[in-house]
Structure 1
Amino acid sequence: MLASSIIDASLSAQNIAFRPGGSSVCFGVSVINRSNQFASFQLEIKAAGAGEQSNWYRLSPDVSTAKSPGDRTDFQVEILDSPIPNFVGIVNLTVRVFSPQLSEERRLVLRLTLEPSGELNLLRVGLPTERFQVYPRNIVDIPVNVKNLGSQPSQVRLQCTQLESSWLVGSSERYIEVPANGETTTTFQCQPPRADRVPSRDYRFIIIAKSHVGSTFEAQGILEVLPVGFMQFEVQPQQQRIPAKAPWLPNWRSRSATFQLLFKNNSNLLQTLDLEVRGQDAKRCQIQVSPEKPVLPLGEITSTNLIISPRRPWIGWSQKLKFELKPWLSDPRLGSSDPATQILFLKVFPIVPLWLLLALLSIIAAVVFRPTPITHLAGVNAVRLSGTSGRSPLVMSASDDCSIRTWGVTEWGTLTPQGNLSKETLAKTCTDAQPKSSKGLLAITQQAIRSLALVPVKNNQVFAGLENGTVQVWDINTGKGLYTLKDPKDQTSDRILDLMFTRNSLTLYASYGSGTIRSWQRPGDVRFDSKPAKVLQVPNRFAYQAWSLALSPDEKMLVSAGQFKRLVLWDVANSQPRQLRLSENAQNRGENDFFWDVNFAPNTPILAAADSDGYVTLWDLSRCQKPAPKGSPKEQLPQQSCEQRARWQVSKTSVRSILFTPDRRWLVSAGDDGQILAWRLTAKVTPDPTQKPKRIATLPSRITSLDLIANEQGVWIASGCADARVRLYRFNPDE
């Protein structure tokens, strides 16, 4: 009763409500000084179940001024936040009124209702530890504690994410009920797969809790898969020798021995390997590991080659070398490999046994002093075979080095230079290099030679088509230059790409880089007149490089082929051109696409063409539709369709030359892939589908030209290549 008489206090309200995150609420406290002295007053507010913090409310004023007896002081209390975070419900607030001048105090009680906030998360998810450890194929328990801070029970779905679902025993989800203001613990069981399927490392996971009202919370953890297993190490074989076989003959090419090192990763550690080769003998050898730092995947066998290259003596005794191999693993948690080292032995024999030393010296002397083979100084553009000239048999070749060479054929079927160019005419070629020998040189010009033609039957004269558009003629037997053909009206340097005689040798055809065709005629054995008998030209808009000519067996039709995959059929009698229409599957007809060579099958109207796409195509020119109506010759090139007999791929690169054997049983092809192939033909002159081609030769460079003749010994084939070499082969179709 005494306290009530000294401090008289009252509240403006007994119950108030507050929503965290919303607007603040206020209530008032009135204090009357009932003492007989001056006194100042203060307030202190505590919430049941809360801590000592006081930042959840604000007073105004903080301390009242001294009041005389009977005076009144009014305090304003503003609620700013919940005194108990995340709590929903009723809290009793105790308002303590006291004065420094008075010994008594007054306590008042107010009921504060805390309402739920729309953003309030009443769930808490926790893990007893952040890191869990487990071995492959073992089970680890991941306990999860869920707290409900709300005043109502909550239905909660737990989900374990970011781990492989196959690792979780049962399911990746749990459904639990958490009581109001309570907590519940559940467990996820995790079992990683076997070691070769799961590398040893940290795997992060997240536990997500979601209540039935949409509140979510999560906890993160780490599952560490512990290392287990070993690295198996094996060498095959452990003993080797150089050379690998018994050294009865000199073998200087065997300079190294290769040991195969096998590593099987029977662990769950991804490893990178460094190999150390120890021992005194290792210092005297070149050591190479391929690959240098191999990666060892889980559960797999990885092969690494150890290449040891010692210094081999030329003569002497064999040596036995010893090496110790030590693999170093990038992750040493499981120790070293099993076994930790391997011992290797290498027996090295001298290059030359003593009893073979004299024979080796003689071989070396023969190699050192062997004469340099005679060849052209640049790529060969044309080869021709003659069987009836005074130097029978004879091979002739022309080259970019502006020279013509002649080659005799020995009884063993090899080529040897035939004849000599006179010393007074021997000079530098257009490659600005002096020939190493005059043997086999027929002529040297000042222009690259693109084509050659021999006078039929007699084969006593050779005609050469030059880069500047002239034709030069030589007597083969004497080596004497005879005369030059040049169209006096042609003021260009239009290079000649092909030359062809009629069977009676009285007409010569020449094709040019502009697509022009010229023909010269002569009466009997006299010279050709420089003025051409005919000049055949397509309209300017159809100009093309004419790389090859072919005469039909009755010599009534001339075929020219070349750039843009253009095949032009010329009626010899009236000089009228028409273009052979190609099938739709003959793609690629741009300026870089060519028909390189055309030929008629002997005594047939079957025309064969080889192109830059690697195909050979056959047409029957006796089965052609009438040409389309022609317009002005200057504007149009009539199209004509003929029956296509066959089309097949010979190579993936250009086919430069094709030839039929005289009996029409074979077609021989060659080109940029360096292969000379013979294709079996049926009686209808089509490829025999039951027969594979016969490979006559495989050369290291592009083949630019072929020629062949047949005799009782078989078929002789001459080839010219971009490597400046001329070669000869004998093909027996019956073998």
Structure 2
Amino acid sequence: MLASSVIDASLTTQNIAFRPGGASVSFGVSVINRSDRFASFQLEIQAAGAGEQSNWYHLSPDVSTAKSPGDRTDFQVEILDSPLPDFVGIVNLTVRVFSPQLLEERRLVLRLTLEPSGESNLLRIGLPTQRFQVYPRNVVDIPVTVKNVGSQPLEVRLQCTALELSWLVGSSERYIEIPAHGETTVTFPCQPPGADQVQSRDYPLIVTAKGSGSSIVEAQGILEVLPVGFMQFEVQPQQQRIPAKRPWLPNWRSRSSTYQLLFKNNSNLLQTLDLEVRGQDAKRCQIEVNPEKPILPLGEITSASLTISPRRPWVGWSRKLKFELKPWLSDPRLGSCDPATQILFLKVFPIVPLWLLLALLSMIAAIVFRPTPSTHLAGVNAVRLSGTSGRAPLVISASDDCSIRTWGVMDWGTLTPQGALSKEMLAKTCTDAQPNSSKGLFAISQQAIRSLALIPVKNNQVFAGLENGTVQVWDINTGKGLYTLKDPKDQTSDRILDLMFTRNSLTLYTSYGSGTIRSWHSRDGRFDSKPAQVLQVPDRFTYQAWSLALSPDEKLLVSAGQFKRLVLWDVAKSQPRQLTLSGNAQNRGENDFFWDVSFAPNTSILAAADSDGYVTLWDLSQCHPALKGSPQEDLPQQSCKQLARWQVAKTSVRSILFTPEGRWLVSGGDDGQILAWRLTANVTPDLTQKPQRIATLPSRITSLDAIAQEQGVWIASGSDDARVRLYRFDPDG
């Protein structure tokens, strides 16, 4: 949700008291840049009834440095004298926050209580900062500076209040002696309890000082307990049916099915959930969640029920409905639930069974039966073409049904299933349905397969990235499973979204739903069981890394995905840089993606396809740093020359590729169209010509691949309708 103001400001306190002639008092002002550009900020304090003089207070800093969008500036305001001489009572202070770069200002009001002046206080107390940050169970030191401005030594009692006494390591009191005109610093170590006992929020802290013959002085601050942990999500059971028992008998009473949802709050954020049920089948059902917005206390397991009521037909065939359940957290600072979504299945039987009619239909079907084409049982996620040239390549496809299929190419691009699993190896896929044919069924795993890659040159091994973060490897010629790869330190089901080999087949890169990139090294034709490197961006920049691209010189690895984030990795140094996107038209929220990236052959030109239907080209040889930052706190920005950006479709573009000779860019996406865009000699689109339409499909296109062949280029596509298709494209046409 967008902020209502480009300047977001808040006070550390709403009320403050000051005694003229006594110790100064202070308060903090936090300002967050909610604009889309760099801006500096200034403060001005005005007292009701006072003139324009400003010598009664002091600002630190006077003017903030320019801050990037989303960054915060903390100002410290110290009141040195009364803005209204000889006045006793309450006066309103107006804090005016403004920026020379932004056409907007923000005003805040603070109540200042002016007390009667008494004898001079000889103590001064202060904190180096108004805000301290700490994770649960970690220790943070709170230093307190105490000054004696008198001419005699003082015995001083320091006390840390407001915080829970159990948080303080040791005593909450300190007794010290300060020499005349002396100064000392005392530290109060503080350790909050575990995440299940302390909520992530701001906790006020007050340190008081009392000297002999002197009144009490105090310094105020904030202890911020930082968020940590995760939200565990489980559904029991994930597959149900209506009716639950004896579906072969008539049953008109069973109208709904209930799933139990379990959430364990393993974080220190108090959360409220909104549950979204997605999918085409969800639109045709009545759905009820109880409670409607579950509240998740710290460290506890909370249950909710999801009741789905589909419309049951009186007669007909059973239907298998699929739903995707997405919990939305009220506080997304720690990301989404683990896992982020759950897939539910509901098999709905008709009220009146058709076993008698089916017996008759089976007799008719035996007479008129014609074999149906072999297909996957769910959407195709990846297609790959084996071979670099020739008339009849091998097409390999992977699907959400946990299977890999292989297809031979006949004349004029006809695909036929090639090979088959033995009966001993044939089993149900993860869709809980038997494959309609074993022909062309190369392998079955226990997880949905998100990505495929063929080992270069030899093309004799196929690597598959699975939903649970495992890479499985098969021999293409024998169909034998060779081995699996999974980082032993990864205890999550971090799905693999893309695979990328170096040309020499010695290094494999894998990208994950968490944004992590891992590299694996091969020795003697087999990859090590542990990754050689784990590349990660700072936590605040985590994203789903949907696509990888390796520059022609293999020195630069590009990962792209959620929040339209493009990260450039220096392979030798493992250092990330984020490619800065130009233009305000770029949407960069949680549901905005770069789905695919690819380098033009033998160039430094990178193409990216996004969820807004655009393809963008950059020249990565013309880049310069846009912003410096610490890798632990920020992600360095890289500004590269944008060559072109044009709209390919009104919906997401899921896959792009350059033809092998580099004269065309082929795109496919949610609108079902496969288009070829002619490129100029400078590798930019020639928009004076309409694109060539290679195909228009009835469902979303998820993957494309291409190889050169004698008469042109073969292009393979995979789509949500579980089909694999092949097209012949003439780049000279």
* TM-score (norm: length of structure 1): 0.49
